[in-house]
Amino acid sequence: MAEENLETDLFGDPVFPPREARGRPEFQWTLERSNRVLLAFARGLSLGQTAKLIDCDVKTLKKHFSREVGLRQTASLRLEMRQLERLNAQADAGNVTAEKELAKRIEVLRVRDHMLRSDVKPAKAKQPKRGKKEQRVHDARYAAAGDPEWRDLGLIPPAGHG
């Protein structure tokens, strides 16, 4: 052992370097892990899936990557915009291929956004108004619709009827 290189304390006893604490070393934030977390959120992964991806617990993810967790909802849009910015910079520098790719991606995103905005669900067909007796029979028939035991007995018609 190289005791001659060790320092001594006030009483002349050798001072050994401190041992690491028991258990797992403390989780460290790194730029690489931060980027991995942001990419996972851009893909739409959950907190649990993202935590597994960087080999930590959800609480640890929230503690060390709180900024990234705060950007979770907009991560996909921010990534798309960053890619478009890079393509635009290349197109400004004279790269014709980047200019064509930029135009193509903008058109795809424009069409996708238009489809999302105009995605209106069709109105349900209006049911004819029932009389009091008909309504009571209907209510009695569908009272236990969520109970699988009643459905197994065949007493409740399949969904979409009534």
Q: pLDDT per residue over 83-139, tens digit each?
A: 999 999 999 999 999 999 999 999 999 998 888 887 656 567 777 888 898 888 878
Report pLDDT digits (tens) over 25-42.
788 899 999 999 999 999
Domain residue spans of the chain: 28-70, 74-117
Cα(50)–Cα(38) distance, integer angstroms: 9
Strand partners, 14: 8
Contacts of 130 (CB under 8 A, 6+ apart): 138
pLDDT bucket at 51, cuts 50 / 70 / 90: very high
Measured in whole angstroms, how far is the alpha carbon of residue 129 from the centre of its chain?
Answer: 44
User: Confidence class of residue 12 from pLDDT cuts 50, 70 and 90?
Assistant: confident
In the predicted model, is pLDDT for residue 3 greater than 50? no
Instruction: Judge if pTM exceeds 0.85.
Output: no
The predicted-structure confidence for 62-74, as pLDDT tens digits, reads as follows 999 999 999 899 9
* Segments in the chain forming alpha helices (H): 31-43, 47-53, 58-64, 66-70, 75-92, 96-117, 132-141, 148-152
Please indicate whether residue 142 or residue 60 has the higher confidence score (pLDDT).
60
